[in-house]
Amino acid sequence: MKRLISLKPTEKKKTERQICHRLDRATSGVLIFAKNYETDIEFKKNLIDCDWKKEYICRVIGEFPDGEISCNQPIGNLSPSMGIQCIREDGKDAQSIFKRLWTNGKESVVVCKIATGRTHQIRVHLQYLGHPIISDQIYNSEVWGKTKGKNADYGKPLEQLREDVQNSHKSSLWREYTSPDYVEKMLKWSQDDTIVPESPDLLVNDRPNFDPICLGCNVTYKQPSMDHFRMHLHCWKYETARGLFEASIPEWAKEETKEEI
């Protein structure tokens, strides 16, 4: 995604390339750009009007049932600050239709068609069905309960679930260590009347790369594994009035041979 964004012009003009829709972080597949402002508006209006047909491929835990499986559970915010969703009665209508492509008994590859576009819809519905995406760092976790949120059985009130989920993803978990003399320096500087505050008019590009007072500049963070940048969820096909946009099937979605199993 960083590479794609870097392709866009830096100046904000109506003629620049625009990303027509979003993908969850770590999701691969189709991403449509508009070459001009008018096309961008057209695509986004059609998206809002649900005139897009969307198909995804995902690899999930367990032996997914054969046949067509529909999930219509409403989806709502669990943690608005983190964008994490859950099944809840007061949520928004959501509809996903799943069909198994193949299974090895332990994992399954499933095609999903969505009629709505709720945040994390496929991931939340698969969690509800008891088949979370295998590499989903958020929804494939026992923080959601012993069954990982199957049938929305979290085993705890939503308030407690919210707290537990937020605590399992808070930024402080990624801190390796803080500079040992940071607290000492801050105490010293807090009593120093000669320090001049930074000008509020200072532009971002004119700020120094390192600020001795900034906590973030004095913290070393853990290096995340590649699993945090990759999820077995692939945007396969988008069909619009302008035509069909299709990405190739990823290697992990291709049926395994007996030797591989």
Residues catalogued as catalytic: 24
Q: Which residues contact 222 (CB under 8 A, 6 or more apart)?
A: 174, 175, 176
Q: Cβ(158)–Cβ(86) under 8 Å? A: yes
Q: Cβ(139)–Cβ(123) under 8 Å? A: yes
In the numeric block, the tokens 């989806």 are attached to 75
Q: What are phi and psi of 150, to 5 degrees?
A: -60, 135
How far is the C-alpha of 130 from the C-alpha of 128, rounded, in Å? 5
How far is the C-alpha of 47 from the C-alpha of 52, rounded, in Å? 6
- Return the DSSP state at 207: S
How far is the C-alpha of 175 from the C-alpha of 216, rounded, in Å? 10
